[in-house]
Amino acid sequence: MDDRQWWKEAVVYQIYPQSFQDTTGSGTGDLQGITERLDYLKNLGVDVIWLSPIFESPGVDNGYDISDYRAINPRYGSMADFDRLLTEAHRRGIKLILDLVVNHTSDRHPWFAESRSSRDNPKRDWYIWRDGFNGGPPNELRSVFSGSAWRKDEITGQYYLHLFTIEQPDLNWANPEVRNAVYDMMRYWLDKGIDGFRMDVIDAICKPESALAVSGGAAESPFGYAGVHEYLREMNEKVLSRCDIMTVGETSSATVESALLFAGRESRELNMVFQFEHMFFDQDRQFGKWLTKKFDLPGLKKILDKWQTGLYGKAWNSLYWNNHDQPRVVSHFGCDADEQSRVLSAKMLGLCLHMMQGSPYIYQGEELGMTNTPLKSLEDCRDVEVFNAYRELVEEKKLLSHEQMMAGIQKSSRDNARTPMQWDGTKNAGFSAGTPWIPVNPNYRTINAALQVQDPDSVWSFYRRLIKLRKEIPVIVYGDFEDMLPDDRRVYAYRRRLEGKSLLAICNFSGEEVSDLDLDALGAGKGELLIANYDAETLDTTRLRPYEGRAYLVR
Ligand code: GLC
């Protein structure tokens, strides 16, 4: 058995505070709103809440641009509100982890104000400054949010690095003063009693010299550069290892090999990472998420199987379909075309993920099977990533037509995940008495928590059972993993084993009935049914109906 840890047995629930619950009528969610909904989360059964950033921020990237790491964004409330939220969460046995965004700050952070003020300011070297090359930026490094990653600052005539928007200058982690300032800030929150950190783009904090060279030419990617491990080991030694907390790094560059370093048992860095391969696999090489390929189940399975087996016994997986940066999974890998398919496929996807090895993350509304939202024009959008990409791909480079780009936005925009939480069928889905900062998904009258919490057949009740099963059946947490049908284009069937117990999960990802598989041979016939998304009385081993999902305990 893998060595036991509380965070291995935990289910995490991600809250995007801006869209969770507004209690003031401002149109923006707040901390008091989260406190008021703690009983909802307790009832669902989650163990840990991850809060997306709640710190002071101009909000260019919805809080991922922080101007004061030790202050609460006044739109969300006060420090007293935070302290109360933490106390009330702990009182219910729920832990709280915060988003640590330290690859960059906001350009409004006082550190940056100092750094840009003159070439000899003591904080100059806290950010990454370079001369231009022949009247242009130092090199061709590109921002994740389109355009050059370099911005000329008129005050001193040099360029600063920003891997994200121009309002998010990158910190210079090579400077030990920066690292120590970050560690101090982390201790400040840990002293308050928080239970860990989700670490934003942590695989980009260490930049290879060649990414920063004043060459005018191509630059190496700063994501996943090996030097990051040294910084994380230092952070672990100086801060993380001193408390019993959980840490998860956002690492879009992670491979199984690098994850063994980031989150290996012996590596003394983080507890786990968010890998991105299963999010990137249907994206186009050139246009990324704005032009996706047709869904291909064997391709998805290959990736997940590799992570399941590659980390087993050596490191720990995180499991996620959704977060604030991804479209809604039921619209992406499932089917939201009609109510029946939505409910079935949302449950099947939940089952598929929660029966795997690793710590599952639920993103707010996923437990209701919330869907993508209509994004018909740029006016419906709020995300800076969309506006930048539109400007570059449609207006400047004319690589995509308006229609192509809008189709990409509809399918993949982050705004799909950021619409307000659908609490009930009243005005604005019960999210706010004011005007929500982003429109509520119009389907809130049929898809909402009030309807689902009382319905034993709802997606919500299904998620609740999935979470409960994890608490009762150790093989779900600690078992190994084997794909039983790696090549099947419709069905994902896998087995988990631990100390003579075996668990079988069977998931039909297709909207078709499958009747040519021998489910008995997989072990379904002699198994004890744990959970299924069709009525147990109607299950047999000769067929799987559209989006059918089941899990069995096989002795
Ligand atoms: C991470 C966050 C994303 C943010 C970016 C820059 O990817 O999840 O929301 O835009 O980092 O901070």
196-199/95-100 β-pairing: parallel
Q: Is the pLDDT of residue 509 over 90?
A: yes
Give domain status of residue 541, yes or no.
yes
- Contact in structure between 262 and 230 (CB atoms under 8 Å): no
101 lines ligand 1 (CB under 6 A): yes
Mean pLDDT of 313-330: 98
201 lines ligand 1 (CB under 6 A): yes
Choose which residue among 143, 201, 273 to substitute to test ligand 1 binding: the one with the highest number of ligand atoms within 8 A of its C-beta: 201
64 Cα: distance to centroid of ligand 1 (angstroms) = 6
d(CA 287, CA 75): 35
- 525 confidence band (pLDDT: 50, 70, 90): confident
Which residue's CA is minimally distant from atom 9 of ligand 1?
A: 325
Q: What is the CATH number of the domain that holds 517?
A: 2.60.40.1180
The two tokens of residue 12 are: 């995490």
223 lines ligand 1 (CB under 6 A): no
251 Cα: distance to centroid of ligand 1 (angstroms) = 11
Q: Is the pLDDT of residue 1 over 60?
A: no
Q: Quote the pLDDT of residue 456.
A: 98
- Contact in structure between 267 and 316 (CB atoms under 8 Å): no
Interhelix angle 228-238/176-192, nearest 10 degrees: 40
Q: Is the pLDDT of residue 158 over 90?
A: yes
Interhelix angle 459-472/339-354, nearest 10 degrees: 10
414 Cα: distance to centroid of ligand 1 (angstroms) = 10
383 lines ligand 1 (CB under 6 A): no
Which residue's CA is minimally distant from atom 12 of ligand 1?
A: 64
d(CA 305, CA 277): 12
Choose which residue among 18, 55, 61, 102 to substitute to test ligand 1 binding: the one with the highest number of ligand atoms within 8 A of its C-beta: 61
Among 87, 102, 116, residue whose Cα is nearest residue 55: 102
Mean pLDDT of 198-224: 96
Residues 532 and 395 placed together within one structural domain of the fold: no
Atom of ligand 1 nearest to the CA of 385: 10
Q: Quote the pLDDT of residue 526.
A: 87
Among 484, 485, 486, residue whose Cα is nearest residue 495: 484
Residues 417 and 294 placed together within one structural domain of the fold: yes
d(CA 315, CA 95): 22
Residues 269 and 185 placed together within one structural domain of the fold: yes
Choose which residue among 325, 382, 415 to substitute to test ligand 1 binding: the one with the highest number of ligand atoms within 8 A of its C-beta: 325
Give domain status of residue 6, yes or no.
no
Number of domains in the chain: 3
417 Cα: distance to centroid of ligand 1 (angstroms) = 13
Residues 146 and 287 placed together within one structural domain of the fold: no
Residues 141 and 211 placed together within one structural domain of the fold: no
Q: How many CB atoms lie within 10 A of CB 389?
A: 23
* Side chain identity, residue 507: C
Q: Quote the pLDDT of residue 274.
A: 98
Residues 284 and 397 placed together within one structural domain of the fold: yes
325 lines ligand 1 (CB under 6 A): yes
Residues 348 and 406 placed together within one structural domain of the fold: yes
pLDDT > 70: percent of the chain? 100
Q: Quote the pLDDT of residue 323.
A: 98
Which DSSP string do the residues of 227-294 spell out, in sequence order?
A: THHHHHHHHHHHTGGGS--EEEEE-TT--HHHHHHHSBTTT-S-SEEE--HHHHTTEETTTEEEEEPP
d(CA 179, CA 173): 6
175 Cα: distance to centroid of ligand 1 (angstroms) = 23
Q: How many CB atoms lie within 10 A of CB 22?
A: 26
d(CA 326, CA 318): 16
Give domain status of residue 344, yes or no.
yes
Which DSSP string do the residues of 55-74 spell out, in sequence order?
A: EE---TTTTSS-SEEEEE-T
Q: Running DSSP on this structure, what letter comes out for residue 141?
A: -
Residues 324 and 439 placed together within one structural domain of the fold: yes
265 Cα: distance to centroid of ligand 1 (angstroms) = 27
Give domain status of residue 219, yes or no.
yes
- Contact in structure between 373 and 439 (CB atoms under 8 Å): yes
- 537 confidence band (pLDDT: 50, 70, 90): very high
Q: Quote the pLDDT of residue 530.
A: 98
Give domain status of residue 192, yes or no.
yes
Q: Quote the pLDDT of residue 3.
A: 85
Mean pLDDT of 349-372: 98
- Contact in structure between 392 and 148 (CB atoms under 8 Å): no
Label residue 369 left, alpha or beta by phi (over 0 means left) and psi (-120 to 50 means alpha).
left
Mean pLDDT of 243-257: 98
65 Cα: distance to centroid of ligand 1 (angstroms) = 9
d(CA 512, CA 544): 9
275-287 pLDDT, tens digit per residue, is 999 999 999 999 9
Q: What is the CATH number of the domain that holds 335?
A: 3.20.20.80
Give domain status of residue 324, yes or no.
yes
191-210 pLDDT, tens digit per residue, is 999 999 999 999 999 999 99
Give catalytic status of residue 68 as yes or no.
Answer: no
Residues 227 and 83 placed together within one structural domain of the fold: yes
Residue that finishes a domain, picked among 436, 465, 494: 465
* Active-site residue (options: 61, 81, 250, 488): 250
Residues 323 and 339 placed together within one structural domain of the fold: yes
Which residue's CA is minimally distant from atom 5 of ligand 1?
A: 64
Burial of 270 (0-12, 13-18, 19+ CB in 10 A): buried
Give catalytic status of residue 200 as yes or no.
Answer: yes
64 lines ligand 1 (CB under 6 A): yes
The two tokens of residue 372 are: 């993508």
Which residue's CA is minimally distant from atom 4 of ligand 1?
A: 64
Q: What is the CATH number of the domain that holds 127?
A: 3.90.400.10
Q: Give the SS3 label for residue 129.
A: strand
Mean pLDDT of 20-44: 98
283-284/159-161 β-pairing: unpaired
Atom of ligand 1 nearest to the CA of 323: 8
- 2 confidence band (pLDDT: 50, 70, 90): low
Residues 275 and 337 placed together within one structural domain of the fold: yes
427-444 pLDDT, tens digit per residue, is 999 999 999 999 999 999
pLDDT > 90: percent of the chain? 98
Choose which residue among 64, 203, 382 to substitute to test ligand 1 binding: the one with the highest number of ligand atoms within 8 A of its C-beta: 64
Residues 317 and 438 placed together within one structural domain of the fold: yes
385 Cα: distance to centroid of ligand 1 (angstroms) = 10
Atom of ligand 1 nearest to the CA of 414: 9
Domain of 499 in residue numbering reads as 479-554
200 lines ligand 1 (CB under 6 A): yes
100-120 pLDDT, tens digit per residue, is 999 999 999 999 999 999 999
Q: How many CB atoms lie within 10 A of CB 555?
A: 10
d(CA 457, CA 445): 17
d(CA 544, CA 429): 35
* Active-site residue (options: 30, 200, 483, 548): 200
d(CA 254, CA 252): 6
Q: Which residues pair with 199 in a beta bridge?
A: 100, 249
* pLDDT, averaged across the chain: 97
Give domain status of residue 3, yes or no.
no
Q: Give the SS3 label for residue 186.
A: helix
Mean pLDDT of 9-38: 98
- Contact in structure between 118 and 153 (CB atoms under 8 Å): no
Give domain status of residue 472, yes or no.
no
Mean pLDDT of 345-356: 98
Alpha carbon distance, N-terminus to C-terminus of the chain: 18
Q: Is the pLDDT of residue 371 over 70?
A: yes
What element of type H or E holds 550?
strand 549-554
333 Cα: distance to centroid of ligand 1 (angstroms) = 22
Burial of 93 (0-12, 13-18, 19+ CB in 10 A): exposed
Q: Give the SS3 label for residue 37.
A: coil
Q: Is the pLDDT of residue 511 over 90?
A: yes
Choose which residue among 16, 102, 200 to substitute to test ligand 1 binding: the one with the highest number of ligand atoms within 8 A of its C-beta: 200
What element of type H or E holds 503?
strand 501-508
Residue that finishes a domain, picked among 130, 161, 192: 161
Q: Quote the pLDDT of residue 555.
A: 77
Residue that finishes a domain, picked among 435, 465, 495: 465
